[in-house]
Structure 1
Amino acid sequence: MAFVRTTTGGARYASPGELYRDLPRRPGAVPGLWAHQSEMLKAFASKHNEPDMALELPTGTGKTLTGLLIAEWTRHSRRARVVYACPTQQLARQVADAAHREGIDTALLIGSHTTWPVSAHTAYEAANAIAITTYSTIFNSNPQLTEADLILFDDAHAGEQYVGEAYSVEIDRRDAHTDYQAVLNVISPAFDGRYRDRLLSAKPDPGIGTDVRLVVPLRQTNMVEALDEVLGRFSPPQSYRYSMIRSGLASCLVYVAYSSILIRPYIPPTHQNRLFSGARQRIYLSATLGEGGELERAFGRTGILRLKQPDESTAPRYGRRFFVFPDFVEDADSIELSQEIVAEAGKALILAPQTETAMNTAKEVAQAEWPVWGIDQVSEGMSAFAELDYGTCGLAARYDGLDLPGKACQLVGLKGIPGQDNLQEKFLQSRVRAGAALASRVRTRVVQGAGRCTRGPGDTAVVLVLGSDLSRYLTRPEVTAALDSELQAELRFGRENSQHGTRSDVLSNIQAFLHQDTEEEWRTQAEPTLADYRREMLQKMPAGTSALSSCVENEIQAWEAAAVARWSDAAHHAHEVARLAGSGGLATKGYRAFWTYLEAVWSDQAADQNGDTIGRATAQSLVQESEEIMGLGSWIRQMAPFPTMERFKLNAIDALAVQAIATQLEGGVNQGKMRRKIEEIKTGLQQSDPRQYEPALTKLGELVGATASKPTSNGRCDSTWCWGNELWLALEAKSDHKPTGVVSHRDIRQANDQLRLLANDCNVDVAPPDSATIIITPKPGIHNDGIIAAESHVHVVSPPKIASLALDVETVWNSLLTQSSHKAAPAMRQLVSEVLHTHGVLPSQIHERLTYDPVVSLDR
């Protein structure tokens, strides 16, 4: 017979934790709440009326259950509609399954609203079930969910990717060539003619493939209107995306690369979304909240209250990871070693920023007979991969939401720094040098990716750090110091055992780690060391973090004002952002310059509308100020001038190079000899033998207008490029280094001296400002002692970066040799200036290219 009950008023619960005891749990439910979950739920209950609240629970520590209990408690106690949003449909299904096991009623509403089950949709609207959905259901041009009392965002640390994407139009050149060309035609007046020709070329030249430029349509005559006309003709799904930003198109920025074009506001105008902004409360569940305002920028909300773990001692350990850096193992082939390590583990999940990189790496490390899977095989979940005996799986940008606990997979490989997922991130990182504003986002992706195979406190997994870029990134003090003490200890232990071990040592350590349940070596030797390291490690936020945090409220207000064309208000808030960013010193210098330029843009627009000539002059001075803040070779010099402004004139450093090359052309250049010289340079730079590499460096310096030479005195660098007393570059070529291991402390000490020695040789007291020492090495990392000892002028580049510069120089000279005949002096200098500037080989631009990777931490 059916169970009988009498009617009651319904229980009321003081907190979500109290509600948990009465849930009708099913088989597979968790046996009980951890202490840290109970504490977090109590902390939430004490602040439950805050409009925006963020809860920090590290990966593998029960974040989903905590969120579900808050959602169910709110639905139950307020008799209100609640939405639980996930980044992807796969994650939404996982949350719905977890809720089912815990006895929580949900309505899974994913995909097109036309396919939603009527019963599920009705249950949500009646507040009888929690709606489980995706970010894209909320952030679209016409949300189909009825307004909610509460919206929870799971994995909110990934919010920028999914929210920002909703307010973006990205046009891929290969997949939408006609649309790309149409947009490029509209924005091309913002570029000089030579750069425009490079973008329009059917085949990219060597230097343009990695270049990203910024266009601000607002201050280009009639560009906003022309862009609207083109974008308005787009078909779905692009037309849906465009409808999200159309009303605020004048506030959007356009990022341009040869491969694609991205149009978006810097901060998404989520205040215009009725479902999001109309909720009584928004809760953000995150593995890390960040300290620099990252969450606020991602969701366009100010005043988010952060609830961190009340007592760290109650949080469970989230599994043990053994980091291995194959590139750091001296004299070992990193690919072969990676293959052997993966063979020991039996399976590998490979994560990378791009699909091609992920799949190629998954194939590279797999054994010949193993299956290699991609997103097509695991789009519904990872259970099928977990059941394989052997295999690899390569996935792009899936640093969240993949669960491979226990013995399902005991190795995750990370390839590439996940810090340039779109053109805006790439521009901020590579051109603006505003890495501090992206630092938390990048760190979180790495940390989340590393935890995909350690979902519980008893799980163990090898984390294979693949490629020199990521290996080098995870040695930076400002990166590692910002991590929790457990992870800092694991990284230190992994680096040391890779740097100081042989191939045989590493493989022996892998075996000890993977068999620690039956053998004692790991427990008796590694674990005590890790415990000691953990107690030594202190978490420290990177330089500039507090400055960035203080900026974020004005940033959001600036973009809210710009979205509705309140240009004076936007400029006022931009001014405050730049002022506050200034307190971050070197770490936030690029970010300060970026916002000073935005202030100039909006000030000029406001002055134009009001006929304010003084205001326009102020805007022009702000552009100059932003360029001065940014320094040599800045992106600001490449920006199209405002309607009443002229393009920047050459600075003194670049003028020296232009004069030197123009004089050489005017005196006559033997084209055959010049082309042979270029071939000699290219050939020499492909060699590891210093006797061939170093002379090629000096010849390359001559072709960019420098006084280039090989110093003869003992202890000097291998080539110097000097542009008068304006800028010096001292190049230390380590072409004979093997591409394994790390640059030694001794090499760093030697590099520290080079500018002082060069100044002494030139009979001056000190080198010119901004001069730098460049170590050219194929090694993927720097010894820890070298990082500590390095002076601020010491940078590292890989040989391919120098080879890329040489290819651009070749293109420049080929152009000059074919166009320079019979030109008078002024026309010759104009030609040289334009060609060098377009290809990024003016001295200031070379300085920017070669000083991207300082050895020293910005914290110093």
Structure 2
Amino acid sequence: MISLHTGAGKSLVGLLIAQSLVNEGAPRVLYLCGTNDLVTQTSREVTNKLGFAHCTRMGGSFSNELYTTGQGFCLTNYQALFNSRSVFKKDNRPEAIIFDDAHVAEKIIRDCYTLKISASDHAKLFARLVELVRPHFAAMGRVDYYNNVLSGGSVHRVVLVPPSAMLALSREQNLVGILREYGLYEGETAYALQHLADHLHVCPMFISRSSIEIAPAFLPAKRIDYLTDPSVRRVYLSATLTSEVDFCRAFGKRPSLKIEPESDAGMGERMIIATEVSKLTEAGAGNVKPARVSAYLAGSNKLLITTSSYAAAEKYREIASPPPQWQFTEALDAFRKSSGPGAFVLVGRVDGIDLPHATCRVMLADGLPTGFSLYEAYLFDFLEMRNSFAAKLANRITQMFGRTNRGRNDYSAIFAVDPQLVSWLMTPRNLAHLPDLLRRQLLLGKSMVQQFGIQDITKFPSLVGQMVNRDPGWLAYYTDSVRGLDVSEDQRSQAADDDQLLTEAALAEADFAAFIWDGNSQAARVALGEVVDKVVVADRRLAGWYNIQIGMTYEIEGDTEAAAKQYSEAKSRTNHTLALPTPRSTQSAAQEQKPRNLLHSKLLEIFINDVRIQNDHFAKYERRISPLFDQSRSASEHEEALRTLGELIGFQSTRPEQESDTNSTLDVLWLSPSASKCILIELKSKKRQDSVVNAGDVGQAYNHLQWVTQTHGASKILGLIIVGGLPKKSPEAAPSDLMWASDTSRFKALFEDTMQMLRSLQRMPPLDRYAEMTAVCARAEWQPDAIFERLRGVRLQDT
């Protein structure tokens, strides 16, 4: 894998390697590009700059015989290689492959393994499948939820079909036969269907009001011949990445050798202005629309507008509309060559479009680059897998911001006004996943907005003018300021820890996909089972997605009760509205009880099944909470352990920094809805024992208190506990009387008392147990005030 900054010339390096392989005598060398536009663009560069003999394959035919005769390499797109009817087999089989833009390959290869059934193109088939799965939702009492998604009346736009329904459709309804009956073995749908036909029963199905998608939960990269054959030489060309997670998901492995030259090429200058549209004004008037922003920017500049969907692009139709697919290349070339102001709208594309230098210097970025498929929409919007998507989105945003900035001498201005994108860009935990320079440029932009009150869109053209016209004041400000900005070392360290866990998990996903493709459900279950409780530290919701897939393996084997227990775990980790079965066997009289509060509900959940399942619960909580008391474990593991402890003792326990779309950086929040009280916890357990709570720590604590007041105003704040070896403050720190310093020993004592209480309950006869459970939940020592008193330690003001 050769990794270079965006715009630093990785494609040139790849082309030299391709020619070198031809010179060595490799019979057939393939060079993959992301799109046909890139094939055309790369071929033009080879012809004009390098003069290498080569051919292209687009539209179903080779441009000449150089590839088939081994006299030159072939430029083509990923789809040509990874579709099920690829021509690159037998005599055309490549012996060497260069994967350009390998950082975006996961999405492209996944598209090749996704069967898409549009309600407009396949109306009768769409209606039939919708009706075939309806009884499965009805059996779980979720048919109204299902109907609301289909009618557009739900806040969620995608629903996951229960795995049991996919098994029934495949075994009882002959899903393959139905798809054949409606002509899906013909036309574009045939390419994906032939990949999936023998594996439909293990693939999730997603349904929205306008389409159905069937795709693997994880790409079967280890069962794709081109990616595993040891006789095929593979070179991956990638932009500089802070994460290898998506690479592992695409190719099923880490690169065996990674070459990452130190270079400032591609590290261009950027002015990034990110302000939510609701805060903008036009000559003092509010209610500004994004189209007005684009009008001012395009009035005196060439403007690239990037959107995540055609629906989002509609708001700019007065300024520009995205060209139809068949005119895309021609329209883009015309925009490149134009010299006057104007706009071009790019939909759902974050890579492969080069508009360097004067070609285009201004961009308006609209929306997060996600939700390009129902699969992504479900994971991101419904399961809310924000943390595991952070690296993916960081990669895409890096590429998106690189469209108009392609070299060390390039410079550009980027504006973001979409609330979701602005929120993402302003969240430190997300910034930690971005390359160093881009991260600093974003922080510089944030500082500019705060320092100079940038909100009047009539001033945007002059702001751009300072950058474009190389105003000395701007150049001095940029040079002097950008180097001194960054997110905290803790944020970067936590991002690195999470990424290490997610990379391990991605490799386990590849193993799961390979085994499930082989029909070995037991081995697949073991592969994910080994990481499911580890990955909860980095992303609890991703762990829930794993639980669904593990449940599916039990469904295949006919063990519906074991499957339901996995689905129950998935619900507790993701969303309780999941349309999945609940466990039914060995349930005790606990199911007759009505919970008085969250602690009572948690006790009923633990004791609802037989003693074996109770012990499983005990072991699970001990396994998840014990890392809090191990100094060698990561900060993320400490935070997740603390969140789990809060959940166990009856709080609505969250990690706001990891689980919300707000700008909160609070580590853990324990909220008691029944008592309307909350406890804030900030972990400093990874700091040195002789460290102190400084003014920065206290300032951050004030921000946490303000955020909770604004977000949970009905709940009384009992206090904010800073946990770590930090019993004293620095002289300049001025904490409030709500701030406390404690250590993990107090939390360990609480955990041990909790486990002792659970084991005492377990030893009781069931009828006595339920009376005692009700009494426990009412006792003073288990109320939020008493718990806070025993954990709070010393008031920070008094240290």
Task: Confirm or deny a common fold (TM above 0.5).
Answer: yes
Q: Which residue of 2 aligns with 1:166?
A: 112
1:306 Cα deviation from its structure 2 partner: 5.1
1:90 Cα deviation from its structure 2 partner: 0.2
Question: One-letter code of the match for 1:357?
Answer: A
Question: One-letter code of the match for 1:183?
Answer: L
Q: Which residue of 1 aligns with 2:333?
A: 383
> Does the Cα contact within 8 Å between 1:362 and 1:392 map onto a contact in 2?
no
Distance 1:414 1:331, change over 3 A: closer
Question: One-letter code of the match for 1:189?
Answer: P
Q: Secondary structure at the match of 2:345?
A: strand
Q: Secondary structure at the match of 2:357?
A: coil
Deviations 1:114-146 (A, max 9, x none): x333xx2x2102221111001111011121121
1:844-855 equivalence runs, <5 A: none
For 1:595 and 1:558, locate their aligned partners in 2 and report how far apart those are by CA, in whole Å.
10
Q: Which residue of 2 aligns with 1:77?
A: 24
Q: Give 2:704's match in structure 1, choosing from 766, 770, 790.
A: 790
Deviations 1:459-497 (A, max 9, x none): 221111131110111011111112122111110111222
Q: Give 2:372's match in structure 1, choosing from 421, 426, 429.
A: 421
Q: In percent, how many aligned pairs have the same letter?
A: 19
1:372 Cα deviation from its structure 2 partner: 7.4
1:415 Cα deviation from its structure 2 partner: 0.7
Deviations 1:75-118 (A, max 9, x none): 21243311001111001111111222212221111122xx333x
1:121-132 equivalence runs, <5 A: 122-132=65-75
Distance 1:645 1:384, change over 3 A: farther
Q: Which residue of 2 aligns with 1:623?
A: 567
Q: Secondary structure at the match of 2:79?
A: helix
1:398-437 equivalence runs, <5 A: 398-437=349-388
Distance 1:247 1:302, change over 3 A: same
Pairing 1:357–2:312 present: yes
1:52-451 equivalence runs, <5 A: 54-100=1-47, 101-112=49-60, 115-117=61-63, 120=64, 122-145=65-88, 146-192=92-138, 195-196=142-143, 204-207=151-154, 210-217=157-164, 220-221=167-168, 223-226=170-173, 227-233=175-181, 234=184, 235-278=186-229, 280-299=232-251, 301-305=252-256, 307-311=258-262, 314-327=263-276, 330=279, 332=281, 333=286, 334-335=288-289, 338-339=293-294, 341-343=296-298, 345-358=300-313, 360-363=314-317, 366=319, 377-380=327-330, 382-388=332-338, 389-451=340-402
Q: Give 2:535's match in structure 1, choosing from 563, 570, 581.
A: 581
For 2:32 and 2:706, locate their aligned partners in 1 and report how far apart those are by CA, in whole Å.
45
> Does the Cα contact within 8 Å between 1:59 and 1:451 map onto a contact in 2?
yes
1:390 Cα deviation from its structure 2 partner: 2.2
Q: Give 1:572's match in structure 2, choosing from 526, 534, 538.
A: 526
Deviations 1:296-351 (A, max 9, x none): 2123x22423525243xx33253211111242784624437624641464221111
> Does the Cα contact within 8 Å between 1:289 and 1:295 map onto a contact in 2?
no
For 1:263 and 1:126, locate their aligned partners in 2 and report how far apart those are by CA, in whole Å.
39
Question: One-letter code of the match for 1:450?
Answer: F
Distance 1:743 1:641, change over 3 A: closer
1:776-855 equivalence runs, <5 A: 789-790=703-704, 794=708
For 1:308 and 1:651, locate their aligned partners in 2 and report how far apart those are by CA, in whole Å.
62
CA RMSD of superposed structures (Å): 4.1
Distance 1:219 1:261, change over 3 A: closer
Distance 1:151 1:744, change over 3 A: closer
> Does the Cα contact within 8 Å between 1:190 and 1:639 map onto a contact in 2?
no
1:461-610 equivalence runs, <5 A: 461-502=412-453, 511=462, 513-516=464-467, 517=469, 519-533=471-485, 540=493, 541=495, 544-582=498-536, 585=537, 587-606=538-557, 608=558
Give the stretch that moved more between structures: 239-248 or 342-351: 342-351
> Does the Cα contact within 8 Å between 2:653 and 2:669 map onto a contact in 1?
no
1:203 Cα deviation from its structure 2 partner: 7.7
> Does the Cα contact within 8 Å between 1:157 and 1:441 map onto a contact in 2?
no
For 1:472 and 1:248, locate their aligned partners in 2 and report how far apart those are by CA, in whole Å.
39
For 2:21 and 2:586, locate their aligned partners in 1 and report how far apart those are by CA, in whole Å.
57
Q: Secondary structure at the match of 1:265?
A: coil
For 1:424 and 1:469, locate their aligned partners in 2 and report how far apart those are by CA, in whole Å.
20
* Number of aligned residue pairs: 619
Question: One-letter code of the match for 2:378?
Answer: F
For 2:464 and 2:106, locate their aligned partners in 1 and report how far apart those are by CA, in whole Å.
36
Q: Secondary structure at the match of 1:315?
A: coil
Q: Secondary structure at the match of 1:398?
A: coil
Question: One-letter code of the match for 2:6?
Answer: T
Tell me, which stretches of 5 or more residues in structure 1 are unaligned?
1-53, 609-614, 658-724, 731-741, 770-783, 799-860
For 1:70 and 1:655, locate their aligned partners in 2 and report how far apart those are by CA, in whole Å.
68
Distance 1:306 1:539, change over 3 A: farther
> Does the Cα contact within 8 Å between 1:465 and 1:471 map onto a contact in 2?
yes
Question: One-letter code of the match for 1:102?
Answer: L
Distance 1:195 1:289, change over 3 A: same
> Does the Cα contact within 8 Å between 1:350 and 1:414 map onto a contact in 2?
yes
Q: Which residue of 2 aligns with 1:842?
A: none
Q: Secondary structure at the match of 2:303?
A: strand
Deviations 1:696-753 (A, max 9, x none): xxxxxxxxxxxxxxxxxxxxxxxxxxxxx978899xxxxxxxxxxx9999xx99xx99
Q: Which residue of 1 aligns with 2:605?
A: none
Distance 1:343 1:568, change over 3 A: closer
Q: Which residue of 1 aligns with 2:580?
A: 639
Deviations 1:591-640 (A, max 9, x none): 2222133223213423x3xxxxxx66544443334444x16x4354x214
> Does the Cα contact within 8 Å between 1:217 and 1:253 map onto a contact in 2?
no
1:291 Cα deviation from its structure 2 partner: 2.7
> Does the Cα contact within 8 Å between 1:562 and 1:570 map onto a contact in 2?
yes
For 2:274 and 2:545, locate their aligned partners in 1 and report how far apart those are by CA, in whole Å.
35
> Does the Cα contact within 8 Å between 1:319 and 1:460 map onto a contact in 2?
yes
Report the TM-score when normalising by structure 2: 0.69
Q: Secondary structure at the match of 2:539?
A: helix
Distance 1:536 1:345, change over 3 A: farther
> Does the Cα contact within 8 Å between 2:5 and 2:265 map onto a contact in 1?
no
Question: One-letter code of the match for 1:229?
Answer: G
Question: One-letter code of the match for 1:416?
Answer: G
Distance 1:267 1:75, change over 3 A: farther
> Does the Cα contact within 8 Å between 2:6 and 2:399 map onto a contact in 1?
yes
Distance 1:277 1:642, change over 3 A: farther
1:375 Cα deviation from its structure 2 partner: 5.0
Report the TM-score when normalising by structure 1: 0.64
Distance 1:289 1:447, change over 3 A: closer
Deviations 1:774-817 (A, max 9, x none): xxxxxxxxxx977983269949899xxxxxxxxxxxxxxxxxxx
Distance 1:138 1:653, change over 3 A: farther
For 2:583 and 2:486, locate their aligned partners in 1 and report how far apart those are by CA, in whole Å.
54
For 2:592 and 2:235, locate their aligned partners in 1 and report how far apart those are by CA, in whole Å.
50
Q: Which residue of 2 aligns with 1:812?
A: none
For 2:662 and 2:129, locate their aligned partners in 1 and report how far apart those are by CA, in whole Å.
45
For 2:705 and 2:372, locate their aligned partners in 1 and report how far apart those are by CA, in whole Å.
31
For 1:557 and 1:69, locate their aligned partners in 2 and report how far apart those are by CA, in whole Å.
34
